[in-house]
Amino acid sequence: MARGGVNLALVRKAQQALLARGQNPSIDAVRIELGNTGSKTTIQRYLKEIANHDPRPIASPSRLSDELTELVGKLLQRLMEEGNQALLSEREAFSREREALAHELGTLHEQLDVAAKERSKLESALQTQDEALKTAQSTLQSEITRNARISQSCSDLEIRVQEKDGQIHSLEQKHAHAREALEHYRASVKEQREQDLSRHEAQLYQMQQEVTMLQQTLMVKQEEITRLIRDNERFLSENRQQAKEVSHQREALQRMQGDLGVAHAATARAEGAKELLVQQLQAKAEEAATARTDVAAAISREQQLAEKLLAAEAELKTLRAATA
């Protein structure tokens, strides 16, 4: 049903007004002409009734005057020309835009290829650095093991030096009567011995300091000590052999108690043994210093390789992010 008083007469009047102005009497145009009243369904129904029952002739271009027809033709031609020109401009702009996009796409493909090659290079470099790092770690492990063995050897040498010092002290007690008979000679020997002992103690103290520093450096690697049990057993066997040798020396010294000249010779041999031990300690100190230098160099190489590895990983992540 019509709303707002819309009826067939009003719809017909609105249609005629639109035709008079040369507008198309569509449903929306008629509704606007009616003041935006009435439903579109009702207006469409009335328009159909008017079209089916209106006896008046429908307006056609043939009923227009020649002047108006010519004007409409010119307008239509101009409209077609302007439309073709605009269409041509749009086509040219579209063609240029498509070429620019194609060029940009080609550039992006080239950049992607370059990025892929760079990524391959970085992955290869990363693999090489990983292998170098593994090699450095293996070298470092070997150096740590070697330093641990040197440290154990130094400890064993310290024990042997203490044992030798004990032997010397025992020898001095057993030959007290010989030293009383050779007071003048003993004074000069004692002075020389004190100098040797002082030098030996200074060297031993220096060696102990170096051993302490080496042990502090290798504290985090103490689990490797278990691997040196077999070496310790061998050292224990050597200590037993040395103990046997000391026992033989004691027996020899007991046999030489009655002979002052033989006692002097035994004392000289003890001094020679002590100097040999001092030389051995010096050699071990040089080996420990060399090992410590090798460990520092290995740690430095490991840090450098770790920094290079982190830099390569960061660059690879950046390249992957840019590729994504």
What confidence category does residue 149 fall into, taking pLDDT thresholds of 50, 70 and 90?
Answer: confident
Segment 55-74, tens digit of pLDDT: 555 444 444 567 787 788 78
Segment 110-133, tens digit of pLDDT: 888 888 888 888 888 888 888 888
Segment 261-302, tens digit of pLDDT: 765 776 788 788 778 888 888 888 888 888 888 878 888 888
Show the DSSP H helices in the chain as ranges: 8-20, 27-33, 40-53, 66-174, 176-181, 183-217, 229-255, 260-323
At residue 2, the pLDDT reads 39
Averaged pLDDT score across all residues of the chain: 79
* Phi and psi at residue 90, to the nearest 5°: -65, -40
Q: Is 293 within 8 Å of 147 (Cβ atoms)?
A: no
* Model pTM score: 0.24
- Which amino acid does the sequence have at 73? G
Burial class from Cβ neighbours inside 10 Å (0-12, 13-18, 19+) for residue 98 reads exposed
Q: Is 267 within 8 Å of 175 (Cβ atoms)?
A: yes
- Which amino acid does the sequence have at 265? A
